[in-house]
Chains A and B, each alone.
Chain A
Amino acid sequence: MSDEKMIPLWEVFIRPRNGLNHKHVGSLHAADGELALQAARDVYTRREEGNSIWVVRAEDILASDPDKSAENFDPAADKIYRHPSFYDIPDEVGHM
């Protein structure tokens, strides 16, 4: 029984309601996409958690390398001109 072929792992994303993004909620095992969708429905939406499901084969997900997180993400830190508070305008203008 231990040399049995493994049933693939899927990552599950649920959209809680229209207007929101699908959000990662967990994973499960299923032999194919339809069974994965059904299992996701039965496992992750028993309490009205959503109205749409995505499933993605875990092995198909590419992730950024944590070793490169400094070069990936730190350079954005000093680009403060991308934020509205960088610019001074007269108070009288009010909200802009």
Chain B
Amino acid sequence: MYSQGLIGANTETQETPEFLAAFQARIDAEEKIEPNDPMPAAYRKTLIRMISQHAHSEIVGMLPEGNWITRAPTLRRKVALLAKVQDEGGHGLYLYSAAETLGVSREQLTQELLTGKAKYSSIFNYPTPTWADIGAIGWLVDGAAIMNQVPLCRCSYGPYARAMIRVCKEESFHQRQGYELMTSLAEGTEEQKAMAQDALNRWWWPSLMMFGPSDSDSQHSDQSMAWKIKRFTNDELRQKFVDATVPQAELIGLSMPDEKLTWNESKNNGQGGYDFGEIDWDEFWQVVKGHGMMNKDRINAKRKAWDDGAWVRQAALAHAEKQNQRKAAA
């Protein structure tokens, strides 16, 4: 990804109708937009918002799963979980890099997260009280994330698309490890099976909420679709996720906590799909607004890590400065 330094002084665009039409024509021709290309201010803003939220989600997402690294029940599970949480950190890093090509710095983005100004995926404000939550997150949360992310590999903004290709490649093991974990619980003792079902009950609805508000209520969808930042609507992706996931649950003897879940032949242009119950959007918005069980804990944990690490970052910079001076003096 390109640096901030590559963005010239000419990024201020004259947003005449001709300019906007020419930009839209490039998008319609499936041309990729690169960091130093002229772009409408709103396109830039939308991307910064999307990419940074995505990056923050990866970073905060390290915490609920990280909660179980030291307690993973076998060494095999422990290394898989540690590698997975590490990957989330890597994905956050790739995405911050992509956002930085648009003229914001990592420091700015970090401050926005730490001051609670930035949004991140609300799913990570739910707690992970049991080991089965690690399975549920891998299977459902990463599963939902993949639905969202695969189309982003074709996003019109080059650095975001490239970061997403890398993310998707790495993420492919995440969902499998989660589902495998759930499978071994579902095949285990009564206690283990109950633990798996309980986790599914708690994570199913929040997973569906991950796709965002219904298309009719989403303020950002239309323009993002026109700019080919997004390729599918929230509801389309949610439906795909439900259709893919319900059979996976059935296969291992678990059931979705939704009495209204039924197969509907006529859905998806006659290919069939699942009808499902009403999502509790009030819960969604409450958690988005900061009232979830873990919102404050998550931000406090990130703030503590950042504050505790300040002296380390300063020391590294001070040492680099000393070395430069020594080199200059030599």
What is the distance, in angstroms, from B328's C-beta to the closest C-beta of chain A? 14
A59→B2 CA distance, assembly (Å): 10
Query: Is there contact, CB below 8 Å, between A4 and B93?
Result: no
Neighbouring A residues of B10 by C-beta, 8 Å: 65-67
Query: Is there contact, CB below 8 Å, between B313 and A7?
Result: yes
What is the distance, in angstroms, from A92's C-beta to the closest C-beta of chain B? 43
Neighbouring A residues of B94 by C-beta, 8 Å: 26
Query: Is there contact, CB below 8 Å, between A58 and B3?
Result: yes
Q: Name, among A11, A30, A63, A65, the residue most crowded by chain B CB atoms within 10 Å (CB to CB).
A: A63
Main secondary structure of the interface of B (DSSP, over half): helix
Query: Is there contact, CB below 8 Å, between B107 and A4?
Result: yes
Among B8, B97, B320, contact of A32 (Cβ-Cβ < 8 Å): B320
Q: Cβ of A6 < 8 Å from any Cβ of B? A: yes
In the complex, what residue of chain A is closest to B6 when comparing beta carbons?
Answer: A63
Q: Name, among A26, A28, A32, A63, the residue most crowded by chain B CB atoms within 10 Å (CB to CB).
A: A26
Query: Is there contact, CB below 8 Å, between B170 and A47?
Result: yes
Neighbouring A residues of B245 by C-beta, 8 Å: none
Q: Name, among B3, B5, B94, B317, the residue most crowded by chain A CB atoms within 10 Å (CB to CB).
A: B3
Q: Cβ of A18 < 8 Å from any Cβ of B? A: no
Query: Is there contact, CB below 8 Å, between B37 and A66?
Result: yes
Whether A27 touches B6, Cβ cut-off 8 Å, given contacts A6-B105, A66-B36, is: no
A47→B320 CA distance, assembly (Å): 30
Neighbouring B residues of A47 by C-beta, 8 Å: 170
Query: Is there contact, CB below 8 Å, between B3 and A2?
Result: no
Q: Cβ of B50 < 8 Å from any Cβ of A? A: no
Neighbouring B residues of A35 by C-beta, 8 Å: 316
Whether A65 touches B8, Cβ cut-off 8 Å, given contacts A1-B306, A28-B97, is: yes
What is the distance, in angstroms, from A57's C-beta to the closest C-beta of chain B? 9
Neighbouring A residues of B310 by C-beta, 8 Å: 1, 4
Question: Which residues in chain A, 17-35, are within 8 Å of chain B measured between CB atoms?
Answer: 24-32, 35
A5→B319 CA distance, assembly (Å): 13
Among A27, A30, A31, A66, contact of B3 (Cβ-Cβ < 8 Å): A27
Neighbouring B residues of A25 by C-beta, 8 Å: 166
What is the distance, in angstroms, from B8's C-beta to the closest C-beta of chain A? 6
A95→B201 CA distance, assembly (Å): 67
Q: Mark A62-90, 1 if CB is under 8 A from B, else 0.
A: 01011100000000000000000000000
Query: Is there contact, CB below 8 Å, between B37 and A29?
Result: no
Q: Cβ of B90 < 8 Å from any Cβ of A? A: yes
Neighbouring B residues of A61 by C-beta, 8 Å: 3, 5-6
Q: Cβ of B100 < 8 Å from any Cβ of A? A: yes
Among B36, B93, B319, B320, contact of A28 (Cβ-Cβ < 8 Å): B93
* Interchain Cβ contacts under 8 Å between A and B, 19 examples: A4-B313, A5-B317, A7-B316, A7-B317, A9-B3, A11-B2, A24-B1, A25-B166, A26-B93, A26-B94, A31-B313, A31-B316, A32-B319, A43-B93, A46-B86, A47-B170, A59-B3, A66-B10, A66-B38
B-side interface residues toward A, CB under 8 Å? 1-6, 8, 10, 34, 36-38, 86, 90, 93-94, 97, 100, 105-107, 111, 114, 163, 166, 170, 306-307, 310, 313-314, 316-317, 319-320, 323
Question: Can you list the 4 inter-chain pairs with the closest CB atoms, starting with the nearest?
Answer: A58-B3, A31-B316, A32-B320, A27-B97
